Amino acid sequence: MAKMEIKVTAEIDGRPVPGTPYRRVVDVDESQVFSYEEPDDGEGTTFSVIPMAQLDTINNLLVKPDQAVTIRLDGQTDAGIVLAAGGLLLVVDGTIDAGAGSSNASLNNNSGSTALVKGGGGGT
């Protein structure tokens, strides 16, 4: 069992966003961190699995790419979530469990450059 601690602070024009600062400690059966290069694929339809494959269910996920990418969660097959370079995707205490034959979390890099993708997560 691992403990994941998530801390988020957000401000708009110097004022705290309601609900922040946010701190949550979550127990997970397994955790994974990653830092890898995802080459530009030259098109927007090929998605590769974010390296969290050992988890049947992802409960917490943080993805931070240095290039614009598209992320699909929970077996999603439509447009996905588009992150700008330096963007951040954070899921805390969610349930991402696409089931057999589908990807819990996948990424497409059509930015024109190799993307450095960093992050981690946990679940069961």
pLDDT in tens, 77-103: 888 999 999 999 999 999 999 876 678
Max Cα distance, the chain (Å): 46
pLDDT at 120 over 80: yes
Quote the distance between the C-alpha of residue 50 and its chain's center: 8
Domains and CATH numbers, the chain: 29-123 (2.60.120)
pLDDT at 62 over 70: yes
> Mean of the pLDDT values across residues 19-32?
93
**pLDDT at residue 8 in the model:** 94
